[in-house]
Structure 1
Amino acid sequence: MPALDMPLDQLKEYRGRNPRPADFDEYWERALAELKATDPQVELVPSEFQSPQADCFDLYFTGVRGARIHAKYIRPKNVQEPHPAVVQFHGYSGSAGDWSDKLAFAALGYSVLSMDARGQGGKSEDVGGVKGNTLNGHIIRGLDDHPDNLLFRHIFLDTAQLAGIALGLPEVDPSRVYAAGGSQGGALTIACAALEPRISKLAPVFPFLCDYKRVWEMDLAKDAYQELRDHFRRFDPTHEREEEVFTRLGYIDLQYLADRIQGEVLMFVGLMDSVCPPSTQFAAYNKITAKKDLVVYPDFGHEGLPGSSDKTMQFFMRD
């Protein structure tokens, strides 16, 4: 079998390379306290797109630091309540996408809440306000400021807040709220279930934002991780701050949030993934202590994984 990364038996034992900040737990407890103190001010606006199967709304809420966050909310018609719900997250730089691709879950009697990550391709707001580079790249946004100002900290908290909104909807069964997404969406799926442990099932596909130092050492700081290379070239060309930079990135490294997950996990990985290297994904998966299973695609990279959507749907339908 061709190999991009470690052999599979080593991947199953790999525990990650990126430094974990000494105050990691305090960092996230402080972040969750900020989230708890934030009034979401939820607003539902009927969408122009409607369906015989479901009512469709633009859902807005206020995230940490005052940003208004947008999600598409699809609520099935004529189904028994309370019913299950899925919170969905998109890939890096993208958006919640079309309404139509969410109707399959609505046909099953599930509500769907699909979030636009702040400052990316949808309608969510990025309020900014950090020192340092803001030209390109959300991983490094706020890296030269206080760690509490890292942009992905705020985006991770947005996922938990959206899940909390879903859990509180009167039409939703709070024991059956699930999370799903691929790439950045897979990362945000893990973040969501880690920071809102009432998520009962999650299906991350080749998650991004794991084990940054491993990405660097594999010389794969390109494509979605190009901003890591750009940051060093522009702001630390002799790497005097390398350990400091990777340690600070550890605050938003999902391998260190993974052990907070309590829901059941079904994860998907392609062993030829040169965008989000398999070892980085295993660094997170191997730290999950909840019930979990992994679907491995030996010949696939960062691309559509045949059957993954069907397997995710069947996973969610299984009681």
Structure 2
Amino acid sequence: MKKLVLPSLLLIWASSVLAQPVERLVKVIVSPDHADWLYKPGEPVRLTISVYRSNVLLKGVKLRYEIGPEKMTPTKTETVTLKEGTLALDAGTLKTAGFLRCIATVEVDGKEYRGLTTAGFDPPSIKPTVANPDDFKTFWDNAKADLAKVPVDARMTLLPERCTERTNVYQLNLQNVNNSRFYGILCVPKKEGKYPAILRVPGAGVRPYYGMIAEADRGFITLEVGIHGVPVTMEPAVYESLGRGPLSGYQAANLDDRDRYYYKRVYLGCVRAVDFLAGMPQYDGQNMAVTGGSQGGALSIVTAGLDNRIKWVGAYYPALCDVTGYLHGRAGGWPHLFAGNDLAYNNKPDRIKTTGYYDVVNFARQVNVPGYYSWGFNDETCPPTSMYAAYNVIPGTKTLDINYLDTGHWTYPEQTEKMTNWLLGQLRAK
């Protein structure tokens, strides 16, 4: 039988947001004077900026740096020449909980190289800015009740070329709300028995999916879903066209109406995926986890907050957290609805109100199951301020792995391995 080698949870995921950055000829290293990158409010941050080429300090290079709260207008900028290739710098401080970022850039032979470091000030004290609607729970209880009236109508198409000796692989097609469908790649162990289940929810974008075949081979039912209501096995060019056309900017589609906002169908689609997994005869009936990164990290928390059939959460750098931060003078989460050119368009009462029903913060308040979370301080896509705003309100048992402080919107292999080991360990793999 032909076996197709595909990415697994243990390896780098099939998403650019999880890929390590490419090694560069010139390295700009910004080092803080605290090994844990953590400071007390009011405590000064001292940095050393070094520029290397071929692992040797690059002397005489011109460097510019900017310092300020992450994602906000810099409070200090300067251009200097590094006579010896290094610079000691007093970066200032923050008086309240948050993150202070230094970005340093050099130009060598016509190419720009940059490095950054982000100092944290009492992150556990960061509080959300997003409103928590009084009828939040009622809104979503009603939405789930509407979904429950829609038949699951599962349609499974075997993908023989992806099957292995141990696992059958299918494209799965489920009925969702508003006459839409919800697609994914389902992997089911061939051996008769009862198995734990893993739901993987996707990062942002429009792409095909390949399924968690390696985990299924190890004795798990796995379902990797797309969110856009289109099949997930088409040619890549089709998704590229969709992403540049009708699905461009989907993150803000119908933001002025809480009942029509794009993510309502998406969040309910994740619940529908749980419906299907929970109803499978091969499911063991009690061990189900959800995992993902970025938008997938957001959807992991959302799904766990909406559905108590989820027993464990594994989330990397969740998006959609405290998106209103920008309206309160600090960084907000991806997709940065109230920053830059989008601020004037979205800064309206109806749009702001809608965010309260979809912000990860308000789902995090309902996550009562154990979770393992992982991100770095240098994330420029999902600012740590926004992620801590959600993490800090989670009432369930939680572990935050911040041993990879220098990571941005990507992960080290060691980081994904730790997440995998935790997740599969909780599911009691046999």
Q: Specify the TM-score bucket, using the shorter chain as the normaliser.
A: 0.7 to 0.9
- Are 1:105 and 2:215 counterparts? yes
- Are 1:260 and 2:366 counterparts? yes
Q: 1:265 touches 1:293 (CA, 8 Å); kept in 2?
A: yes
Of the candidates 225, 228, 239, which is equivalent to residue 115 of structure 1? 225
Identity of aligned residues (%): 23
Q: Is the partner of 1:248 in helix, strand or coil? A: helix
Equivalence for 1:128: none
Q: TM-score, normalised by structure 2?
A: 0.64
Amino acid at match of 1:275: T
Equivalence for 2:407: 300
Q: Is the partner of 2:381 in helix, strand or coil? A: coil
Structure 1: 5+ residue runs without aligned partners? 125-133
- Are 1:30 and 2:142 counterparts? yes
Amino acid at match of 1:75: V
Of the candidates 178, 182, 195, which is equivalent to residue 83 of structure 1? 195
Structure 1 residue 224 displacement after superposition? 4.2
Structure 1 residue 45 displacement after superposition? 1.0
CA distance 1:108–1:34, change in 2 (3 Å): same
Equivalence for 2:388: 282
Spell out, residue by residue over 1:139-198, the C-alpha distance to the aligned partner (whole angstroms, 9 max, x if none).
Answer: 321122x31111111101111110121111110112111111000111111111111111
Alignment of 1:41-190 (within 5 A): 41-48=153-160, 49-78=162-191, 81-95=193-207, 97-99=209-211, 102-118=212-228, 122=232, 136-144=248-256, 146-190=257-301
Structure 2: 5+ residue runs without aligned partners? 1-31, 38-68, 71-97, 100-118, 235-245
Equivalence for 1:313: 420
Q: Is the partner of 1:51 in helix, strand or coil? A: coil
Q: TM-score, normalised by structure 1?
A: 0.85
**Greater relative contact order (Cα 8 A, min sep 6): structure 1 or 2?**
1
Equivalence for 1:198: 309
RMSD of aligned residue pairs (Cα, Å): 2.6
Amino acid at match of 1:70: Y
CA distance 1:43–1:50, change in 2 (3 Å): same
Q: Which has the higher strand share?
A: 2
Larger Rg: 2
Structure 1 residue 215 displacement after superposition? 4.8
Structure 1 residue 222 displacement after superposition? 9.9
Q: Return 264-273 or 213-222, whichever deviates more.
A: 213-222
Amino acid at match of 1:214: G
Q: Return 180-189 or 215-224, whichever deviates more.
A: 215-224
Q: Is the partner of 2:365 in helix, strand or coil? A: helix
Q: Which has the higher helix share?
A: 1
Q: Is the partner of 2:184 in helix, strand or coil? A: strand
